[in-house]
Structure 1
């Protein structure tokens, strides 16, 4: 029985041992995570947003076209740093299995695994994992829990609360801290490799950007979301990132959570559905254009600040020996709400006094060519740009990898890079090292799995089974139909049945894991 085999896998102990590789030559790791950015927001993924720094990493590295997150910030971040699905370690729920919030003791975070290889670990930015960075193996940390880019709710430096400086802007503060600790590393620990986890809070709502960044974007979005989406689709095809057809706009798809009372303060310029651009009033067009302008400005600021971090790595003569990963924690967000410090209708859009969200129309654009948004397990919610840059070891500069991957693969990949071999584990990692795909595309029929707030999915090879909270299972052949436009569930009922069993088997494995002490 499959459940018997599952239990057999769980009855082993966790240890880490270094391989015979010379760990003094282990590469540095720079892991850059952004928040609520869509699949086609970057220039190198077909978008019109100016991201020359990130585009340069892509042109000299690898772009993965089928890399997945966990569809929302908390489960994705738990998976990135632990190597486990969030539900395996109490960081998300599935069916009747409730996430209690605290990871089991056997689920350590990546920095603790890296210690035997001599790594120093640094954190800058968002956290959203139980505990704090300084208690989980990080040697330095800037922890930001924010109500917005200009006003952090909580700001901790190395575990101690500090007050933000005048002119605080989270994206710049994250980069400043990353650079600060890299300078310290060069001065005092240059003989050791570093792991730098840079977790930008942007472009998550509220949409807030520096005035000069907003001005730089200008009236780029005056043409409206219909035109921009078609332009992005052309850009994706031109770059060879997507095969198949562009998904249809889901005109009835609104925000995933109901904050209708709060939305009243935003005024008549706001809309909660992706209706055709030409059906908007002039006031609505003006209001909506501004929102996407701010979203783009936030991403362009990320690119500027990442350039500063890379400049510091180069100043340390470490660029050639540093593996850079870049990705987003989920797709763009259709959420619409006002919270935190509230929204002042008289405040300049994008300023500290405003509280705007991207909404389902522009989120549909940001997630081009896919359906759905953050929180959903469809491609729009769970597929992210993923860039790998490693000058000494990636010979196919600018190549696109169709190898499927998931954030559960990051820990095994980084441990592989560090020359660390996982010996026996109490609970085996569900992911695998992506290192073979650095050299060429790899084929496999492994199972990838999702569940969040009743949205479920499982992928096996090119087949994906997916459902929304109150909907039926849908079946797609992603080799021919990446945008999930042609539901094959009625045509292949046996495939639906087989994939449903695989989804349920993962739930049962989680059920057995939760019985462990």
Structure 2
């Protein structure tokens, strides 16, 4: 089972330093493993392509590649199958519940059931909008909330599996939209957190950082909030709609007006409520696994598609400032102040490839397959590794590493060796590119540059917060890593272009 959150920050779970109640995920961490150096692609749709194919999204045209239709509108090469199709060939039943955001439809790509939130429904948690159940529209119902709808579908699939297909293995791809904007939550969940964030993002960040140290996370230095770094995309009209309580920079809390402090504190209460509710719904799914005697032998992964988001915008049904914040008529977003807090102890946000944008919590739980309980793993990993891991423990042939003349070997590596202990996964580097934000990690070294900026070099063994740029002290290392980044960029672009349909190729 692969459980995926959306826009969840590195420190947003209790077991990763948060004050938010996440007892079910904390329980998985206590009974399994927490990874501290696990990465995504900095954005939702590239990460989902990487998860389900085992390739960097540029290789399969699901992030921008010059000269070809790519990114969120890109179509994968035929050889870049989703691993659900390989599992089906091994007699697996496959189920999808929640966000999709991959090209093609789930039922045509190895899934037996699919509850797809669709694009429209991701703009309002209280409306079914474009939700489909096995490609049939889901009617609007009173009290609908998508996080609950997704989990209820997952439970139904598992119940059917236990009743009709108990002799067959299953894979469940469970994808919550929470806590992605808009910040929409149930009133009873919001009430639990009202007043808890009036101390502000600076103080809450310090508390999370202190808790991380108490929990045993590797020593780090907390970087200062970058007060000049705001949302990745400017939407001045949205700021006007959201009113004087909104602020698009992570200014010191003491510099905010009382109106701004109240508005911002309430936004974080809603974000916390969304994470809390997601954990509650995950608890229902885990209870069903236990009821069907599958919990002990189900390999469960939990992670996020990117870091917390600094975005501020208004979409969907717009924003009514007179409606209770967090209700269906409003459209608040987390923003850079609370995003910086959510990504503790890292810099930047979703879309950037600094650690805050690409670092995700990863919990792995499998009682019958992993002897360790409550341990950390510091082995660097990436979402490209998940398919290889699942295939390596699920298939009877070499599907996880099979290479043909028609396509390259997956850059992903199975995480299975790290289940027993921290270990090297036999690769040279991890590579990142999104919207011209660039990075490469090789061992302890990370070379990173935001769009339009020069390379910076960090020693991640001492500086995961990316606060001490060592580029001037190690120019040869900068040159070496930059050349490797460029080499891979050329290689991955060539892969994307090689078999692209002529209609998708762009004229120079």
TM-score with structure 1 length normalisation?
Answer: 0.93
Q: Write the deviation string for residues 13-70 of structure 1: whole angstroms up to 9, x where unpaired.
A: xxxxxxxxxxxxxxxxx11000001000100001111100000000110000000000
3-state SS of the aligned residue for 1:505? helix
In the TM superposition, 1:205-216 aligns within 5 A as 205-216=181-192
In the TM superposition, 1:400-439 aligns within 5 A as 400-420=376-396, 421-422=398-399, 423-425=402-404, 426-439=407-420
Within 1, Cα distance between the matches of 2:10 and 2:342? 6
- 1:344 Cα deviation after fit: 0.3
- 1:249 Cα deviation after fit: 1.1
Match of 2:446 in 1: 464
Aligned pair partner of 2:76 in 92, 103, 118: 103
1:112 aligned onto 2:85: yes
Within 1, Cα distance between the matches of 2:441 and 2:456? 12
3-state SS of the aligned residue for 1:153? coil
Q: Write the deviation string for residues 123-167 of structure 1: whole angstroms up to 9, x where unpaired.
A: 000011111111111000000022121124311111222223221
In the TM superposition, 1:319-334 aligns within 5 A as 319-334=295-310
Within 2, Cα distance between the matches of 1:445 and 1:357? 38
Aligned pair partner of 1:247 in 220, 223, 229: 223
Match of 1:11 in 2: none
1:504 aligned onto 2:486: yes
Match of 2:101 in 1: 128
Aligned pair partner of 2:460 in 471, 478, 490: 478
Contact 1:291 1:358 in 2 (8 A): yes
In the TM superposition, 1:65-464 aligns within 5 A as 65-94=36-65, 99=70, 101-145=74-118, 146=121, 147-420=123-396, 421-422=398-399, 423-425=402-404, 426-443=407-424, 444=426, 446-464=428-446
Residues matched between the structures, number: 488
3-state SS of the aligned residue for 1:416? helix
RMSD: 1.2
1:97 to 1:477, Cα distance in 2 relative to 1, 3 A: farther
Match of 1:38 in 2: 9
3-state SS of the aligned residue for 1:508? helix
Match of 1:59 in 2: 30
Segments of structure 2 that go 5 or more residues without pairing to the other structure are 500-508
Contact 2:68 2:497 in 1 (8 A): no
TM-score with structure 2 length normalisation?
Answer: 0.94
Within 2, Cα distance between the matches of 1:280 and 1:263? 15
Q: Write the deviation string for residues 56-90 of structure 1: whole angstroms up to 9, x where unpaired.
A: 00011000000000000010001111111111111
Contact 1:97 1:511 in 2 (8 A): no
Runs of at least 4 residues off by over 3 Å: 94-98
Contact 1:372 1:379 in 2 (8 A): yes
Q: Write the deviation string for residues 187-230 of structure 1: whole angstroms up to 9, x where unpaired.
A: 11100111000000110000000000001123111111111000
